[in-house]
Structure 1
Amino acid sequence: MNRIKLRSVAPVAAAITLGLSLTACGAGNEDSGSGSSDGDGVSGTLAGAGASSQESAVQAWRAGFQEANPDATVNYDPIGSGGGREQFISGGTAFAGSDAYLDDEELTAAQERCSGGEIVEVPNYVSPIAVVYNLPGVDTLNLTPEAIGGIFQGEITEWDDPAIAEENPDAELSGAITPVHRSDASGTTENFTDYLDAASGGSWSEGVVEEWPIDGGEAAEQTSGVVSAVTNGEGTIGYADASQAGDLGTASVQVGEEFVEYSPEAAAAVLDNSEQAEGRGETDIAIEVDRAVDEGAVYPIVLVSYMMACQTYEDEEEAELVKSFLSYVVSEEGQQTAAENAGSAPLSTEFQEQATTAIETITAGS
């Protein structure tokens, strides 16, 4: 399934600029995670599914939320972004996590699933996508966008190719390159190919896709599968949420005249001038990311992951569970928990407030 990207965008107001902020809490967030909106603990079982990139963060969110709400259970199946959206749209789960926002067709289907009501879709997780590699003896690796595109296009097949060797004069490069990609529908793939499409100068020619379009290389399911395939191979290279890179080597990416290592701070910096997609409802906060930045200290290969839910549920308990859990996720406490356990970049205070306002509209139908 090739996703249709919205190309018509409008600047995001400065008040919702994404950045790093751990010190201030949005209005009304002080009690987020302590229970429902009236401060009482919620109960019941909540089912979600989606992005495997968020798995480490979701585990931490579940633990924190369930500690504050001992009668509540949150289940999350990390089946991938595409699978999560499909499960949510079909009514199989109450919420979904996704590394890509709903496209136009999915949005219409999701609104029908939600009894014709609006969708609550909020960014909740901002993280670098690391270019991970396993090349014995090579501890540091600089890669240009053109080289990364050529590798995953299948045009650069040897580690000592001049496009790589010239930027790494002190490294002993040799052997065949085995690129590893996701085999499942993946928002991580979409974000990665969005970067390649914008920044590779044409060395990547397959556009922005959610499902890998090229034969060759090695395919692996979910983030954990890519990390495992790169780890167990030699001369392998892949892309994965940085929180799960483990002990693998991670490439520094050329931005302007510099090579930039991934970090939460550098990932957040690329979003400072991001744009919000037009034509969405007030509670549907879909963000376009500028990948072709040329300023230093910015890491452009990032994913902005979303939580998506209905604005109206038939069951009151389900509505309160969804609202309470998502409120915790975007709260200062929840964002700090994700930063500590998954290395993500916390939402700014202003963005926390906007996301919380959207989530607070979740209710049960009459």
Structure 2
Amino acid sequence: MVSVGYTLLCEQAGPVDLIDHGIRAEAAGFDHLLISDHYNPWVEQQGHSPNAWPVLGAVAHATSRIELMTYLTSPIRRYHPAMVAQQASTVGVLSNGRFTLGLGAGENLNEHVVGAWPHVTQRHEMFEEAVQIIRPLLDGEKLVYSGNHYEVPEAYVWDRPDVPVKFAMAASGPRSCELAGQYADGLIAVQPEPRLLEMFDRAGGTGKPRYGQVAICYGPDEAECRRTVYDQWRWFGLGWKVMAELPEPVSFAAATQFVREEDVASSVPCGPDVEAHVAAFQRFVDAGFTHVGLVQVGGPSQVMFLDWARDVLLPRLREL
């Protein structure tokens, strides 16, 4: 059975509401929680961006069953990789082993707050070094590391769960799939592309989890949902090569000034039709993903969505 997730999107809710949404998602019957780990919202209309890690700790303490995962943490600029390993292990303890660390190379939007955003070639080198640091620290090893980008004179994570925290890596092409197959316990992809899973398998990922995420906007009024998606989600179609480079929320607004409402609504199901939302989820299932998280676009609609998901959407998804 595919694990059905709910996304705590830090860009569209404050920390107190996010904790409440996590508790409600567990009560509704979701299998796992994803949480975004950003410094800025994508566009100013979203209006939020609290630190994900305190929220994770609170959600871990307030829940008992649901699996937890960052989607995604970048360990190359804003966080040093040794600190990421410590944070992840702490949440692993607080959650009694329910936490998986999701890693990606990040975006200028969130990482430039601590310094210049490196060139993509350098970022890939930094990311590989980061996972070489994180992996042994999660596993309880004392680490001494000297690389081209990071120095760890000596590090050891003292508080760890009984079973070491696992981590999954985002991938979008052959090299990143190879890295994920070599180092990670799972693959993350933002598009339902079977070729990525095939490359991951060939690199050593056979039998490991594959995590995806799909955006929807449920509500009783389809027209209102379309407006919400256009207002808050029109940046998503830019593609990762563009999204990784833009530095500010106003940059995303400028880059999408000619996007139309119908352009966004064509890729994000909107309104009350459960079958439209199921079809979006099904594309990831058909591609071979084992874990698929849902993003309900629109901050104020989260409680309404979670109640509807409990009563209507989740029973339907369990039939797949």
Q: Structure 2-normalised TM-score?
A: 0.32
Bigger Cα Rg: 1
- Of structures 1 and 2, the one scoring higher in RCO (CA 8 A, sep 6+) is 1
Identify, as 1 or 2, the structure richer in strand. 1
Bigger share in helix: 2
